[in-house]
Amino acid sequence: MAELTKTGMTRRALLGAFAATTVAAAPTFSQAAGFLRGGGDIRRIRMFSGRTGERIDMIYWIDGDYIKDAVKEINYFMRDWRTDQVKSMDLRTIDIMAASHNLLDVTEPYMMLSGYRSPQTNAMLRSRSRGVAKNSLHMRGQAADLRLSSRSVSQMANAAKACRAGGVGKYRGSNFVHMDCGVVRSWNG
């Protein structure tokens, strides 16, 4: 049953109104309406890293402007934890992650498995797995591998695909979804 807000609007109608506002106020990126769907006037990212024990929960964008210090913290959080190298993450990837999270309607933070990967780390992982691309977008700061315990891989992938803004890979065996801001495509179902 639809939950009514204090204004008498259903949650679905309210989300529709926010989506319309988002599209109208979108910056001029190609396919902006796609990757901003679900973004809102305030964009927030919530993640934790099982590797480092770090957590991040912050608003990084308000009314059309990225918050420089917040983006800097996100870049550090998404660093290659093996080498401690930091790369500026492509903000389109962060936007896709945040919009997908909003579409999933969860408060649970993403578990980030991989953000930026140095060429050395990518080569090491590639030597251990056929699923690691030689020219991975992780090395450009344009991809993330994420997990949620409260949502299935299929649910997460469907939310990311709804943004129509980049690549979405489902890895059921390892229980994570790859999201990137590259060419719109999907793989593994």
Q: What are the structural domain ranges in the chain?
A: 11-187
Amino acid at 134: K
Q: Each residue of 135-187: pLDDT tens digit?
A: 999 999 999 999 999 999 999 999 999 999 999 999 998 999 999 999 999 99
> Can you give the pTM of this predicted structure?
0.78
CB neighbours of residue 127 within 10 Å: 8
pLDDT band (50, 70, 90) for residue 103: very high
Q: Is there a contact between 153 and 169 (Cβ–Cβ < 8 Å)?
A: no
Cα–Cα dist 177/168, whole Å: 7
Q: Is there a contact between 35 and 92 (Cβ–Cβ < 8 Å)?
A: yes
pLDDT band (50, 70, 90) for residue 36: low
Cα–Cα dist 161/169, whole Å: 10
Q: What's the CATH class of domain 11-187?
A: alpha beta
pLDDT band (50, 70, 90) for residue 39: low
pLDDT greater than 90 at residue 46: yes
pLDDT of residue 82: 95
Q: What is the mean pLDDT of residues 44-67?
A: 95
